[in-house]
Structure 1
Amino acid sequence: MTVMEVAKTNPDAEVWFVSTNNKDFGPSGKNWTGKNLGSKTDCPINFNDELTDELTNSGIPDRVHYVTTLPILEQHFANQWAPVSNEILSRWFNQTDQQNLADMLHAWLEGYPLDPEQSALPTNVFRAYVVSADRPSDGWQFSEGAGRGSNGGWTARFTVPVKVDISAVDSTATTSEHTKNLCFSGVLSVDSSEVLDSVEVMAATALPGDPNAELWVRRSARTGANGSRAATLAGLATAMSAFDTAKLAGIADDETDVVDDNAEGSAE
């Protein structure tokens, strides 16, 4: 059953489509939640213009939503049912061991794979990863805090700018090194004693105003990135969960799709 069919047969339900393949299904450029607004890890983010028009023409644009991963969606729902105020998040950050927070993030970042477009690397870069990273003390932002149930503690989304050294490979297999600031986002967990339990990084994006970002926008406009494989709502249900296998085989990331719930290509 396709996303469109699910929405039509459940007129009172919200329908969520989950896929990491924002190149086909997501908006162009940095228009995640509006013109040059938001990030890849926001919930929800925009569909591309073609899919948005199809949803509007079907009269269901407010009931069908898109998110890139299930953990992001789960955090969104948790925040709705057991919200933790921004005041609590701010107080926790001021009182916590910030060096430990920076160290846990640093452990995640070494070797972290980067999307060359989202990181605004040179447009000839094919693959890239973080070689080393600073331990940030400033710039942390927290949102969508949510309680963790009867055991106490809470989770929250975070974003923070970090200066990183990057190793990259271009389409001719030539390697290069780059140093730049990127915005990393993800989810952290705190236990019932308000001690940091875990940090998980989910995305890395270029900072606003990065000059290379506009080069990628122009490149996408020339190549028709969103329309190259003619993604339509009717085709969402056929997306295959072969992404990890494809990565191991050395296939380009944007050649396969991921739908976290596998069979249906949507979640209610």
Structure 2
Amino acid sequence: MATSTGLRQRNAVSGALGMGVATLWLSIIVLLPLAALAVTSMENGVAGFIDAVTQPAALATLRITVTVSAIVALINVVMGTIVAWVLVRDDFPGKRFVNATIDLPFALPTIVASIVLLALYGPNSPIGIHLNATPAGLVVALTFVTLPFVVRAVQPVLMEVDREVEQAAHSLGAGPWTTFRRVVLPALTPAMISGAGLAFARAIGEYGSVVLIGGNIPHETQVASQYIQQQIEIDRPVNAAAVSVVLLLISFLSLFVLRLWAGRTQRHEEQDA
């Protein structure tokens, strides 16, 4: 009895210590910087914050950022799912190499991606495709850096899909598309949405991959991260902080809604089981 009590006490102490260390670390790395950002954005009061984020240039860059990020997320839902399907269901020479290449955007400095894309699609494009300083260039750059999110979210779920159910559907006369839509797609949808949400949140704040290929043209191709840098360079840190807070809120809300939806889906699956 004494041994059991002592074990519980040690577990309680270690649990409290671990919680304290985790909270301190998150406070130093995440909460304090975010608090400093929020305070800076409010230096001129609420009216100053609203004025900073409603300036025509700020609104234009936010509109471009959100629109392009949403397009990129939708593209990655389709193409990322197809890539995951090929990697899981098909065998071909070089499959391991392709599978490893998917993670390259995670490891590659994004400014390198921008240099490569500028060389490939810039004014001196060797393939005759010129995307420099165009919205299409932004889409290509952001699609490159966010592709792994959908692929890696869908891939493990696709591995767990029961192939016998698909075979049963085929034996009952269902075609490939019907089988995919009725059997496979419902199982993949949560992972696809999760990957799309992460891709959207990443694209919202991306800078390195678009800094060269995007062109940074106000009201046309200037994304929010470039606008923030511009405001810092012209000594308007409050405006930069205000737009940064808006980006933070957009990303947080998208991830928060994603978590709520994932939790609700999990509860429904547990109830059905």
Name the structure with the higher strand share: 1
Q: Return the TM-score normalized by structure 2.
A: 0.25
Q: Return the TM-score normalized by structure 1.
A: 0.25
Name the structure with the higher helix share: 2
Higher relative contact order (CA 8 A, sep 6+): 2
